[in-house]
Amino acid sequence: MESATFRDQVVIITGASAGIGHAMAVQLARQGARVAIAARRAECLEELAAACRASGAEVLVAPTDVGEESQCKALVDNTLSTFGRLDMLVNNAGLAASALFDDYHNLDLFRHTMDVNLFGAVNCTYYALPYLKQSKGRILAVSSLGGKTAIPYNTPYCASKYGLHGFCDALRMELKPHEVSVTVVCPWWVATEFHAAQLNKDGVPRGAPRGKDYYTSKTMTADRCAEIALQAAYKRRREVLMGPGLLAVWLKLIAPGFLDWLSIKIFLEPAARRAREAQAKRE
């Protein structure tokens, strides 16, 4: 049993059909929590529910598109009618579109990223808040280091995650009198479907990661990331940076120009080269 225990607590997890959200659901179920699992892919949620129930947990399967406000309201309403209370909301659902900003054909992908990563969290939080105030509960947001220091080739993603930080930081202060905590965790590189699901400028998932070295033995697993995130929420911490997060944030403070140079070398130049190669292959 994990040290952070959410026994008997009712938890909504968005983006539970895969990756970090899936791992959190499994861990919470093992800890004796009652979980409402939300994402778009119902069949993945059913499989997860079976695994959680095998650990003795009560589970609500709630197919939800968090970009749709009415579906987020339904998620909260169904959780309340099933379990009668709410102790934690995990805003984890997320995706990335990855291209140069001026290569997008229009702003649809930008808006879609904002709808899921930022408004998905805003929608769910809005409807969950009355119940979280009653339980003096917790909000856990899964952001990214891309919400602390910008990553070129990822303008929609960074805009959505920076927005998520602003939303959570302001909300934390507003909720202080109600004893509801707001924790933001910023993973770095986690081995999940996230990277293959990244959309290119045409809205097409870029597919399986390139090369066997894409994930190394040092890449964080979804399980480890989930464990850190749940611990942080349990301890009601405000923000947790993973991987090189602290270094990046310090560099941004003391040498922002150098950090830009580094990010161009690490992210922009290789991404632009890969896009050129893919284009050449298509022609």
Ligand X SMILES: NC(=O)c1ccc[n+]([C@@H]2O[C@H](COP(=O)([O-])OP(=O)(O)OC[C@H]3O[C@@H](n4cnc5c(N)ncnc54)[C@H](OP(=O)(O)O)[C@@H]3O)[C@@H](O)[C@H]2O)c1
Residues with a known catalytic role: 157
- Binding piece for ligand X, criterion CB under 6 A, among 5-13, 126-134, 187-195, 271-279: 187-195
Q: Is 114 helix (H, G, I), strand (E, B) or coil?
A: helix
Nearest-approach distance from CB 66 to ligand X, in angstroms: 4
Q: Is 95 in the site for ligand X (CB under 6 A)?
A: yes
135/228 with CB nearer ligand X: 228
Q: Is 187 in the site for ligand X (CB under 6 A)?
A: yes
- Binding piece for ligand X, criterion CB under 6 A, among 24-32, 60-68, 172-180, 272-280: 60-68
| 132, HSE (Cβ side, Cα atoms, 13 Å) | 26
Nearest-approach distance from CB 234 to ligand X, in angstroms: 18
Nearest-approach distance from CB 166 to ligand X, in angstroms: 16
Q: Is 27 in the site for ligand X (CB under 6 A)?
A: no
Question: What per-residue string of b and e applies to 124-152 under the rule 16 or more CB within 10 Å gives b?
Answer: bbebbbebbeeeebbbbbbbbbbbbbbbb
Options 15, 137, 163, 245; binder of ligand X; rule CB under 6 A? 15
Nearest-approach distance from CB 149 to ligand X, in angstroms: 12
Residue whose C-alpha is closest to residue 57's, from 84, 76, 83, 80: 83
40/274 with CB nearer ligand X: 40
Residue 31: phi and psi, rounded to 5, are: -80, -5
For residue 142, the cross-strand partners are: 185
41/176 with CB nearer ligand X: 41
**DSSP string spanning 1-42?**
--SS--TT-EEEEESTTSHHHHHHHHHHHHTT-EEEEEES-H
Q: At 210, which amino acid appears?
A: R
Options 37, 48, 66, 248; binder of ligand X; rule CB under 6 A? 66
Nearest-approach distance from CB 134 to ligand X, in angstroms: 25
The token pair at 101 is: 């900003």
Q: Is 156 in the site for ligand X (CB under 6 A)?
A: no
How far apart CA 267 and CA 260 sit, in angstroms, is 10
Which residues does 264 contact at the CB level (< 8 Å), separation at least 6?
152
- Would you tell me which residues interact with ligand X (CB under 6 A)? 14-21, 39-41, 44, 64-67, 92-95, 116, 142, 144, 187, 189-190, 192-194, 197
